Amino acid sequence: MRFSDLLPGRAKHQVGQVISAEWDPNRRGIRFTIQFQPSSRRLEGFCASGHNPVTGKYIDERDLKNKIENFIGLPVYEHALGGDPNKMGVEDFKKLKIELTLTDMHLSVKPASRPVDSNTFISRIFR
């Protein structure tokens, strides 16, 4: 359990949604566009078939193509430790990272540099 889990009111905060998704035959994956609200900023992402470097699972092209319909309208959530992309500066917005979980179709964005969270802060105090 983390210290931040004990704090009340930390719910998912939707910051945008996927507005378009299409199959890219050259790169063998899904190219999609996220639009953030209320700023109307857009961010393009790509999900390729193949081995997932994080989980080690293999995602073939057929399974990925079947998920295209699920991409459109998919809500995008702010990462628990990140900032709101609607309020970020241009340089921070350019460095956003997209985290996509295909098993439960969960999409979130987080800044490239991780801010110090409460767990890190407390552990540094006791060092």
Tell me the C-alpha distance between 63 and 78, whole Å: 27
> pLDDT digit string (tens) for 76-98?
888 766 677 888 888 888 888 88
User: Per DSSP, which regions of 26-71 are E strands?
Assistant: 29-36, 42-48, 50-51, 58-59
pLDDT attached to residue 1: 43
User: Do strands 106-110 and 75-78 pair parallel, antiparallel, or not at all (unpaired)?
Assistant: parallel
pTM here? 0.72
Tell me the C-alpha distance between 38 and 19, whole Å: 14
* pLDDT interval class at 19 (50, 70, 90): very high
54: alpha, beta or left? (left if phi > 0; alpha if psi -120 to 50): alpha
Tell me the C-alpha distance between 45 and 30, whole Å: 8
